[in-house]
Amino acid sequence: MRNSLLRRVSLSAASASARRYRSTVPAGGKVFESADAAVADMRAGAKLLVGGFGLTGVPENLLAAIKKKGIRNLEVVSSNVGTAERGLGLLFQDKQISKMVGSYVGENDLFESQFLNGEIDVELVPMGTLAERMRAAGAGIPAFFTATGVGTLVHHGSMPVRYAPDGSGKVVTGSAPRTSQVFDGKEYIMEEAIHGDYSLVRAWKGDTEGNLIYRKTSRNHNPAIATAGKVTIAEVEELVPAGTLDPDQVHTPGIFIDRIVQGPSEKFIERLTLLGEKTKGGALTPDRERITRRAALELRDGDYVNLGIGMPTLVSNFVPPGVHITLQSENGMLGVGPFPARGSEDVDLVNAGKQTVTALPGASYFAAHDSFGMIRGGHCDVTILGSMQVAANGDMANYLIPGKLVKGMGGAMDLVSSPAKVIVTMEHCDRKGNPKLLPACTLPLTGQRCVAMLVTEFGVWEMAPDGSGMTMMEIAPGIDLESVRASTAADFKVIDNLPLMKGCE
């Protein structure tokens, strides 16, 4: 992520209060005077579980102390890797990480370069599975079964772990296959718990007993990570004496925390996004508007909806009048509202794309493992995602081009393996004019037979639930069927009396 996309944010008046508490908190016990002191016993080869999502809720001071100490050969487990300048990017700068376990690369060019050049091992894990693996570790559960990743490289193995150092893109180490088992006629794969030598977390407030309170979406993965390390170190913005916090408001009880230290005097917004700005989905071209307007018509009053990064985010702009939906964001929020007006952005309030957002009346915040419980448990009605490829049988691929692009699956595998209706919004061809709607995906799968509906600028297709094929249900105005077939590598049926695309009549 380039510096222009980072925004430094001074802490609020609560932080000034925290500085006053410094002299009243007794030394000793769980309280450490500095981040340097809190990581003083950390040695090379340690396995670290690191909280945060993008740059939100990241223990920046603890990571800076590790960078300063020069600890090397670290194995790091974290949902995503920040940017080249912030978060875990600090440890990539001096190549202190030898193995990274995570879900999403994001805009960390250093990480991507080191992976593609064969300098580090990488284990890509679906975000919900990663969260649950750490939660399981803290709960004493050695393994569990999940539908997430069934039929993909996560299941069958050979996910790129290490590339050759010659830049050839050759995979020299691949992942091992997962054990699978059938329950009630459906296949699930087994995932093992992830423990760490150290857990590093960030909270808004903490007391000398180690009790923690998180703020808004800065909670994300921190609560699960806090439970899964042999030694858990908490960095807090405001450190107060025991008895100051309302026990009914504590999110992480002190039993999980071994060390606590007051944290940084500033925080950062990774993707400051304001009302009227262009989003990561790009400019709203006529084709994109056609796609997103049509996808929005699939939403029903009362739906709980998850929108993927990029073009799917734009769907919320076109929800029909009288239709009230609740947007769910996998980093830990229900009731996502519009982007904020300039000056009202909140460093602790971001969506799954790390964009600043607002909260609607009735919104709620929760940990990431609870968020994915909602998703896997079938409590969301619709998910709308982008994709690089879609196959005629409903397979999709949207996270990896081996040897070239390391995007990471984020929460997509969890979303498409859930009972929710999966709608894909994508442009019909890639930038070179190659079809993206294929007889079979040539890229690693995100999910098998998971797409229920596809919307492109050319029309709308429905996929048969049994994977037997797809049917064109609507065609865009000004587009003839012959042109659609010429731009589509896959065969498809056409409904009788093919109507115009809804919203374009």
312 in the same domain as 255: no
Closest to 311 measured CA to CA, from 433, 415, 426: 426
Residues tagged active-site? 330
329 in the same domain as 437: yes
Instruction: Report pLDDT for 207.
Output: 98
382 in the same domain as 468: yes
DSSP designation for 436: S
Instruction: Report pLDDT for 312.
Output: 95
Closest to 139 measured CA to CA, from 194, 98, 59: 194
466 lies in which domain range?
286-494
Q: Say if CB 320 and CB 296 are below 8 A apart.
A: yes
- The angle subtended at Cα 470 by Cα 155 and Cα 127, nearest 5°, is 30
- 295 assigned to some structural domain: yes
Q: Tokens 């919307």 label which residue?
A: 455
135 in the same domain as 92: yes
3-class SS shares of the chain: helix, strand, coil, % to 5: 20, 30, 50
Helix and strand totals (H; E) in the chain: 12, 30
- 24 assigned to some structural domain: yes
Edge-to-edge, what's the strand order for the sheet holding 326-329? 359-365, 333-336, 326-329, 304-307, 382-385, 421-425, 453-455, 459-463, 470-475, 493-494
Burial class (CB in 10 A: 0-12, 13-18, 19+), 7: middle
Domain ends where: 268, 294, 323?
268
376 in the same domain as 244: no
Instruction: Name the token pair of 125.
Output: 């894990």
224 in the same domain as 114: yes
The rounded distance, in Å, linking the Cα atoms of 58 and 432 is 39
- 205 assigned to some structural domain: yes
40 in the same domain as 107: yes
- Scanning 301-447, the segments in alpha helix (DSSP H) are 368-376, 412-416
Domain ends where: 268, 298, 316?
268
Furthest-apart CA atoms within the chain: distance in Å: 78
Dihedral angle sign, alpha carbons of residues 474, 476, 478, 481: negative
Instruction: Report pLDDT for 407.
Output: 82
110 in the same domain as 33: yes
- 180 assigned to some structural domain: no
Closest to 22 measured CA to CA, from 237, 249, 193, 214: 237
60 in the same domain as 133: yes
- 318 assigned to some structural domain: yes
Beta pairing class for 266-269 and 229-240: unpaired
Instruction: Report pLDDT for 441.
Output: 98
CATH number where 126 lies:
3.40.1080.10
Beta pairing class for 453-455 and 459-463: antiparallel
The rounded distance, in Å, linking the Cα atoms of 244 and 398 is 47
Neighbours of 235 (CB within 10 A): 28
**Structural domain total, the chain:** 2
The rounded distance, in Å, linking the Cα atoms of 305 and 298 is 11
The rounded distance, in Å, linking the Cα atoms of 216 and 332 is 8
- 186 assigned to some structural domain: no
DSSP 86-109: STTHHHHHTT-EEEEEESB-TT-H
CA 161 remoteness from chain centre = 20
490 in the same domain as 374: yes
338 in the same domain as 301: yes
Query: Low-confidence residues of the chain, pLDDT below 70?
Result: 1-28, 265, 277-283, 505
Instruction: Name the token pair of 81.
Output: 């890797």
- The angle subtended at Cα 412 by Cα 414 and Cα 55, nearest 5°, is 105
Instruction: Report pLDDT for 278.
Output: 62
81 in the same domain as 30: yes
Instruction: Report pLDDT for 461.
Output: 98
Instruction: Report pLDDT for 12.
Output: 39
DSSP designation for 360: E
Instruction: Report pLDDT for 448.
Output: 97
Instruction: Report pLDDT for 21.
Output: 35
Q: Tokens 């693996």 label which residue?
A: 133
Instruction: Report pLDDT for 286.
Output: 92
